[in-house]
A and B are shown apart, each in its own frame.
Chain A
Amino acid sequence: MDIGLLGQYLANGMMLGTMYALVAVGFTLFFGVLDVIKFSHGDVLMLGSFTGFTAYLGVLAIGIENPWLMLLAILVVSITATAALGAVIARYLVLPLKSAPPLNILLITLMLGTALREAVRLFYPDGSNPKAFPALLPTASVDLGGFSLRADSAILMAAGIAVIIGLNLLINRTRLGLAIRAVAQDEETAKIMGINYTLIVLVTFGIGSGAAAFAGIMNGLYYNEINFGMGLLLGLIGFSAAIIGGLGNIYGAILGGFLFAGLQTVGAVALPFASAYKDVFAFGVVIALMAWKPTGLIAERSSDRV
């Protein structure tokens, strides 16, 4: 295999890894503060990209032509709306079930995901067909020894990594992050210390969902296509990534995201069977990893109180 093709696969894998990590970070944040899995995350992402697409149609209609302004509008509208949606879901579906068996929350969010997916398919104008997401980033490319790095890919990847670093700083360096970590560690003590528990939970869900919306737009810009079913697979991959990394650990989520992207790339390139099997291979490895390390590579610190 020539070095150019290898570079291409590497770039593609990095891009996927960034997206998956962004989704996985959401799962890990929610699990951290509430010990719940919000499986509708992938469909919230899908809704984020559809909101972005609608915003694009909106700014197009009022006659803004500058792609950067358009992109800004898309990002602002989509991230705000999706973050609000995430908070609403947390307030009305997740918090009321906090004391119910964890299975119920998993189920309610799974069903919510289906409901969102179906709602977009049925009620968004022509929602059952894929939508062509606009290519707003410059498409000039640099030739790097046999493989061409496109400017839009580079910008997307840089932006994605910047968001991941930003989230990490937010969690580990700010007062808000301190509050989130405090709630994650011990709800009662955090409350006693004067932290507004509900507010922090809602804000965390907002942040996670905003990150998902960003990943959704990244996905749209990268593939130039969005469809109502994209959230299911991305959500599942994000969930798997968060889990193989180890739930509740932001580094685990990032590691898991890149690991999954790596597996898919290896499945597509280096294995003897057809590249169509790449998802089969990646999920197979995930299942095997779960058998080997039942609580993820960076294990969750927990013990059963009897």
Chain B
Amino acid sequence: MKDNTTKTGWLGLPPLVVGLSAVVAVVIFGWQFLLAESELEVLGLVALAAVAGWAGGKTGLTGSLNEAMRGHGRAMNSAIMIGLLAVIGLLSEEHFPLLMLTTMLLYMTVALGLNVQFGLTGMVNFAGAAFFGIGAYTSAVLTTHTAVPPLLILIGGGLMAAAIGFLLIVPVVRTAGHYSAVVTIAFGVLFKTFLEVNDVLGGPQGLMVDSMKLFGWDFNDGPQLFGIEMSFYVNYALLGGGLAVLAFMLTQRLERSWLGLALDSVRLDETASACFGVNVVRAKVLAFTFGNILVGVAGALYGMMISFIAPNSFTFADSLLMVSIVLLGGLGSLWGTAVAAVIVVLLPEKLQILQEYRFLLFSGLVILMLLYRPQGLLPRTVRQFFPSWRPQR
């Protein structure tokens, strides 16, 4: 789903032109994809995307795009953000496509957080849905029982996820590999069981969440612009988009900084990095907390958007779905995460026949991926120590 500009012929075109036209193509594609009603239409678009992706890889378009991202990062990033706004604008009267888009953006935020843990630091966290749920329940409790401004509640959701993550930090940091996997899995199951039996938090029936309000403006009222009544999901899509972009930028900055380098070295060899003076414990605490904050903030906004949450939305299977986003995209690959979030969240929503089978489908897909292409759809490239450096030809 990277692009479908295979016809334009980028040979000879400057990378920026190729990059910008790819963004335009993706915007048109995304708009049509979200609007597509019939299954046949959706299947056709999926096939188109697959062919375009394959052809792009074969003919060097991917390389050209990488070049554009590297050489004209600022222009490309603005183009992508404008593109996202354009998709939201084009869909501004459609409830359901916007809901899907926002869910996808929030899952992308979650997967970015998990990617810092899995992909950069090599820590496992199979309680993604639990931290997501902590964010959502925090927003439920705070919106209905207190007068805390909702924007602060988003941050509160993140902080709450981080705080509860701190309870796990000792076992997670002290243990490695399988052992820390069991800690997080046990926590995920514990969390869901706890919610189900706890009457204060609504038990199995769950809780209502109040809507997002910003400076006295209720997000559940559709905004009016030039006399056109828009879907109230526009608000959430904009906020979710902002959150995803912010998460992406933060994660990218983290990856490129010396902190990211420390995280990478911890993943590759703990003993060696400790010998070189990297504080392994601090690196792990940082990655775990950073990831959980992103997951928690996304969860808080998700709760406000769907306005009703129940323990069944935060099961272990959902955690695994989040992990599959990270794996399908490629460990440590941020763009890969974005692409995989589209596939994992949107595809089953659009193809209703798949909805029932989605856990089966994605678990099968990840199994095949791990067997035949363990580096993911868009593998992470080797770290560039001099970002502006390009091979001389």
Which residues of chain B (166-212) have a CB below 8 Å from chain A?
168, 170-171, 174-179, 181-183, 185-187, 189-190, 193-194, 197
Instruction: Give how many B residues have a beta carbon under 8 Å from the other chain's beta carbons.
Output: 43
B319's closest neighbor in chain A, by CB? A110
A112 partner, pick from B323, B357, B363, beta carbons under 8 A: B363
A103 an interface residue at 8 Å Cβ cutoff? Answer: yes
Residues of A within 8 Å of B170, CB to CB, are 291
CB <8 Å contact, A294 and B194:
no
A104 partner, pick from B168, B175, B370, beta carbons under 8 A: B370
CB <8 Å contact, A115 and B194:
no
CB <8 Å contact, B175 and A122:
no
Residues of A within 8 Å of B356, CB to CB, are 122
Q: Which of A93, A122, A232, A290 has the most CB of B within 10 A?
A: A290
Which residues of chain B (73-126) have a CB below 8 Å from chain A?
118, 122, 124, 126
CB <8 Å contact, A108 and B371:
yes
Residues of A within 8 Å of B363, CB to CB, are 111-112, 114-115, 118
Residues of A within 8 Å of B370, CB to CB, are 97, 100, 104, 107-108, 111
Nearest chain A CB to B168's CB is how many angstroms away?
Answer: 7
Residues of A within 8 Å of B371, CB to CB, are 93, 96-97, 108
CB <8 Å contact, B327 and A107:
yes
* In the bound complex, CA of A233 to CA of B363 (Å): 18
A286 an interface residue at 8 Å Cβ cutoff? Answer: yes
Which residues of chain B (42-90) have a CB below 8 Å from chain A?
none
Main SS of chain B's interface residues?
helix
A92's closest neighbor in chain B, by CB? B371
CB <8 Å contact, B360 and A114:
yes
CB <8 Å contact, B174 and A294:
yes
Residues of B within 8 Å of A102, CB to CB, are 177-178
* In the bound complex, CA of A108 to CA of B374 (Å): 11
A72 an interface residue at 8 Å Cβ cutoff? Answer: no
Segment of A158-166, A207-215, A235-243 in the binding face: A235-243
* In the bound complex, CA of A110 to CA of B168 (Å): 21
Segment of A3-11, A76-84, A183-191, A275-283 in the binding face: A275-283
Residues of A within 8 Å of B316, CB to CB, are 232
A199 an interface residue at 8 Å Cβ cutoff? Answer: no
Nearest chain A CB to B234's CB is how many angstroms away?
Answer: 35
A118's closest neighbor in chain B, by CB? B360
A304 an interface residue at 8 Å Cβ cutoff? Answer: yes
A64 an interface residue at 8 Å Cβ cutoff? Answer: no
* In the bound complex, CA of A102 to CA of B357 (Å): 28
B308 an interface residue at 8 Å Cβ cutoff? Answer: no
Residues of A within 8 Å of B163, CB to CB, are none
Give 1 or 0 for each of A263-303: 1 = CB within 8 Å of chain B CB.
00000000000101101100110111011001110000000
CB <8 Å contact, B179 and A243:
yes
Residues of B within 8 Å of A106, CB to CB, are 124, 177-178, 181
Residues of A within 8 Å of B176, CB to CB, are 294
* In the bound complex, CA of A122 to CA of B354 (Å): 12
CB <8 Å contact, B360 and A119:
yes
Given A108-B371, A122-B360, A287-B171, do A306 and B271 touch, yes or no (CB 8 Å)? yes
CB <8 Å contact, A276 and B197:
yes
Q: Which of B190, B272, B323, B364 has the most CB of A within 10 A?
A: B190
B366 an interface residue at 8 Å Cβ cutoff? Answer: yes
Give 1 or 0 for each of B323-367: 1 = CB within 8 Å of chain A CB.
110010000000000000000000000000000110110011011
Given A279-B190, A304-B271, do A107 and B175 touch, yes or no (CB 8 Å)? no
* In the bound complex, CA of A276 to CA of B359 (Å): 28
Residues of A within 8 Å of B323, CB to CB, are 107, 110
Residues of B within 8 Å of A295, CB to CB, are 175, 179
CB <8 Å contact, B179 and A290:
yes
Residues of B within 8 Å of A280, CB to CB, are 190, 193-194, 197
Nearest chain B CB to A152's CB is how many angstroms away?
Answer: 28
CB <8 Å contact, A240 and B186:
yes
* In the bound complex, CA of A233 to CA of B196 (Å): 15
Given A97-B370, A118-B363, do A240 and B182 touch, yes or no (CB 8 Å)? yes
Residues of B within 8 Å of A294, CB to CB, are 171, 174-176, 179
B320 an interface residue at 8 Å Cβ cutoff? Answer: yes
Give 1 or 0 for each of A239-268: 1 = CB within 8 Å of chain B CB.
110010001000000000000000000000
A103 partner, pick from B122, B190, B193, beta carbons under 8 A: B122
CB <8 Å contact, B364 and A239:
no
In the complex, 23 of the A-B residue pairs with CB atoms within 8 angstroms, ordered by the A residue number, are A100-B374, A102-B178, A103-B118, A106-B181, A108-B367, A108-B370, A110-B323, A111-B320, A114-B359, A115-B360, A115-B363, A236-B185, A247-B178, A277-B194, A277-B197, A279-B190, A280-B194, A283-B186, A290-B175, A290-B183, A295-B175, A304-B271, A306-B271
Closest 8 CB pairs between A and B?
A118-B360, A276-B197, A291-B171, A111-B363, A114-B363, A283-B190, A290-B171, A115-B363
